[in-house]
Chains A and B, each alone.
Chain A
Amino acid sequence: MARNLIDIVDLSVEEINELIATAEDIIQHPAKYQDACAHKQLATLFFEPSTRTRLSFESAMLSLGGSVLGFSSASSSSTAKGETVGDTVHTVSCYADIIAMRHPKEGAPFAAAQVAEVPIINAGDGGHNHPTQTLTDLLTIHREKGRLDHFTIGFCGDLKFGRTVHSLVSALSRYENIKFVLISPTELKLPRYVKEEALKKRGIPYTQTTDLESVIPQLDILYMTRVQRERFFNEEDYLRLKDSYILTPEKLESAKPDLSILHPLPRVNEISVAVDKDPRAAYWRQVKNGKYIRMALILKLLGIEV
């Protein structure tokens, strides 16, 4: 096991499966883990704010009996005084046992890992990687379906800029017999290099469509993402298209009874609130899973066996 988690591809399928198994055990037996990280400290270095991700990490460490320190924006860190990422992280690695960092620049966690004396977890680096979100998605699929193979998954919304989609597609491409359905406006299709490297090279079947309603009946999993106004060239296109990518109870009428709906959150309006009551909505369970998989990851990187 690598000492750091910078990119989801740093983990082998076996390592991911192990993390999922640990997370499942944590869910079943939380008390067993409540002091596992006693006297250990997690530093959350958030050079750019993301309350959601930071709280998930902090809650994970606290549930393991550890403690947390850190900062939640660049203005409250020494970066504001011009310090390099390397120096900040080097300093913090003198106090903390493990670091979760988020940074607006791509590759900043990799740079940090070169100088840190403790494990580094990438908690998001710009539009580049966000491996703990991908682990969260994988744990959620595993919990919802009982497996990580043999299903049809639809990705809907902004597939061009959505990094969570890119890394989940890559991660899932290593499992058996998964069919991919890519649902997006033409302007926001999955980039060619992701299709080439994750799907075509491995001979994995996929279909592309602009119409969510027509494909919804075949899906076992539906991964929704935001369609942001600023991604469109003009307002008319946005207004014309946005409704087709909003999930409503009506659109779900033709879906399978055991469909699982995922969303990395936060949502804006792409899933109507009325869907929340549907048992197929897995996104709030997904948030909880984010904490459990981060607990598993912290244990793993610290080399703590329970």
Chain B
Amino acid sequence: MNIDSIQNGIVLDHIQAGKSMDIYQYLHLDELDCSVAIIKNVRSNHMGKKDIIKIDTPMEVDFDVLGYIDSNITVNIIRDGRLVEKKHVELPKKLVNIIRCKNPRCITASEPQLDAIFLLSDEEKHTYRCAYCDTAKDKKF
């Protein structure tokens, strides 16, 4: 993969093909002024096809968001045009204000100012449950 085009920024690699737009949304990349490249369906030896996102600014990314959407993503930190760090994300144990509970009887539905907290309840199935009402959130990405 060619990272020459970025001087100081981040490359999100090994995104499961098709998920890059979800990440774009959840990381609020639309709010950035810098150039953001979304490269879809890149050929990959490992994955067959994958997506890549290049962000041309040194920003803090929310690893919980990335881990929740796709725990196989690697985060490459680029400084002065060189790869200085490669980080792996993992499935977060806790999600705060990333997803909201859909149960209409949940207290977070009637008091939306409460933090939306979800806890990982099944690592294999990637099931998260609302910390308030235990309603399961199926991963739909």
Residues of A within 8 A of B (CB): 7, 84-86, 103-108, 110-111, 125-128, 193
Contacts and interface: CB of A to CB of B under 8 A. Distances in A.
Interface range for B: 10 to 19
Contact of B130 (A86, A107, A126): A107
Contacts of B133: 106-107, 125, 128
Contact of B107 (A106, A127, A193): A106
A86 B136 CA distance: 24
* Interface of B, helix, strand, loop or mixed by DSSP: loop
B113 A107 contact: no
A301 B130 CA distance: 25
A104 B105 CA distance: 8
Contact of A105 (B106, B113, B134, B135): B106
Contacts of A105: 105-107, 109-110
Nearest to B133: A106
Nearest to B108: A107
Given A106-B133, A128-B133, A84 B113 contact: yes
Contacts of B44: none
25 contacts: A7-B134, A84-B111, A84-B113, A85-B107, A86-B111, A86-B114, A103-B107, A105-B105, A105-B107, A106-B103, A106-B132, A106-B134, A107-B107, A107-B130, A107-B131, A107-B133, A108-B107, A108-B132, A111-B107, A111-B132, A125-B107, A126-B105, A127-B105, A128-B133, A193-B136
A238 to B, nearest CB: 24
B105 A111 contact: no
Contacts of B130: 107
Given A105-B106, A106-B106, 19 more contacts: A84-B111, A85-B111, A105-B105, A105-B109, A105-B110, A106-B103, A106-B107, A106-B134, A107-B107, A107-B132, A107-B133, A108-B132, A110-B107, A110-B131, A111-B108, A111-B111, A111-B114, A128-B134, A193-B136
B132 A110 contact: yes
A104 B107 CA distance: 9
A193 B111 CA distance: 27
Contacts of A125: 107, 133
- Most central of B108, B113, B132, B136 by chain A CB within 10 Å: B132
B127 to A, nearest CB: 10
Interface in B119-141: 130-136
Contacts of B108: 107, 111
